[in-house]
Amino acid sequence: MIGPALFALALVASWGNSATHVVLSDRPLYAFTTNVMTMPIRTQRLAWAGVASVGFLAALWLWAASGWPRLGAAAVIAALLAIRQVETRQWPGQMVVRLGKYVPAASCLTGWLIVVTLTRTLGWDEPRSVAAGWEAAAGVMAALYPLAALSKLKLTGWRWMRAEHHALMIAERAYTGPKWVRRARSAGSRSRAVCAFVGTFGLLSEFACAAYIFPDARIAVTATVLALHAGIGLFLGYFEPEWLLVMIAIAAITT
């Protein structure tokens, strides 16, 4: 039960992230400061997002707890697509995508939905079909990080791992965050060992995530990704719980 609950939480995190950015799009959310939160909230937009959120939660209930899980999954995916469209239109160009705002939970749920629908059509019974759906979700998750690694190889090649690249990336972020974080980033950006490790581990661990297709490897891959995200949080300054929640959830369901 913990696995599906965590997956549902990942979907809520995905929705909540986009909905928050829609409601608070009139202020600098990424450069978050307490001053920003004292600005008055546009009540009409808040009400609109509240109603939409009730609809999203109803769709989530359909998927997780009703007799129409496929209909619910389709509704959840449609809702996430819709809120993301609204969010994307409030930013110039493809800023939302370039900021690394991806939707791993929706991607995995799409895999789940397609395979459950296919296997039910082929006459599989419900429990086996749902198990196949979660394997499909695991398959999608197994593809995400290797795709990121392949993109790095395509655009930069193996030189992506060069310590100098990561020294610069970390140094750029050494002017924001709490004092101890700034110090850690400043020290990290000056250390060849740290920067070389970040580059090598960053690329190779993403490729290694392909092993998530194997049920026996899922816990180890999840632990690796936890380490990866801890490093990203420390040195690059962002943390996206959706990714980890999805990975832990699917591992809990399928192992």
Partner 1 sequence: MDLPLIAAGTALVYAGISWLVGDRFPFSRYAMYADLEGRREGAVLVVRAGGREVGFAEVIAWHGIDPAAIEPFSVPCSLHWVVFETQAWIRDHTAPSADGLTVPLEVGYRILRVPEVGAMSERFEWRAAGVGRLRGGSGA
Residue 249 CB partners (closer than 8 Å, separation 6+): 3, 4, 5, 6, 7, 9, 10
Selected from 41, 47, 97, 227, the binder of partner 1 by CB under 8 A is 97
CB of 185 to partner 1, least distance (A): 12
Exposure string (b/e) for 131-163, b if CB count within 10 Å is 16 or more? bbbbbbbbbbbbbbbbebbeebeeeeeeebbbb
Closest approach of partner 1 to the CB of residue 109, in Å: 8
Closest CB 131 distance from partner 1, rounded Å: 6
- Token digits of residue 78: 């449609």
Enumerate residues 211-240 that contact partner 1 by CB under 8 A.
Answer: 212-215, 236
**Residue for token pair 């546009």:** 42
How many residues belong to the site for partner 1 (CB under 8 A)? Answer: 74
Site for partner 1 in 28-47 (CB under 8 A): 28-31, 33, 35-36
Binding partner 1 by CB under 8 A: which of 9, 60, 73, 143? 143
Among 163, 244, 246, 252, binds partner 1 (CB under 8 A): 163
Distance from the first to the final alpha carbon of the chain:
13
> By CB under 8 A, is residue 172 in contact with partner 1?
yes
Is the CB of 12 or the CB of 136 nearer to partner 1? Answer: 136
98-137 residues near partner 1, rule: CB under 8 A? 98-100, 102-103, 106-107, 110-111, 115, 131-132, 135-137
Whose tokens are 């719980």? That residue is 241
Closest distance to partner 1 from the beta carbon of 157 (Å): 7
Taking CB under 8 A as the criterion, the residue among 50, 55, 157, 233 binding partner 1 is 157
CB of 174 to partner 1, least distance (A): 9
Tell which one of 155, 178, 179, 180 touches partner 1 (CB under 8 A): 155
CA distance 174 to 237: 9
* Binding positions for partner 1, 70-89, rule CB under 8 A: 77, 80-81, 84
Nearer of residues 126 and 172 to partner 1, judged by Cβ: 172
- 40 or 67, CB closer to partner 1? 40
Q: Determine, following the binding rule CB under 8 A, whether residue 20 of this chain makes contact with partner 1.
A: no
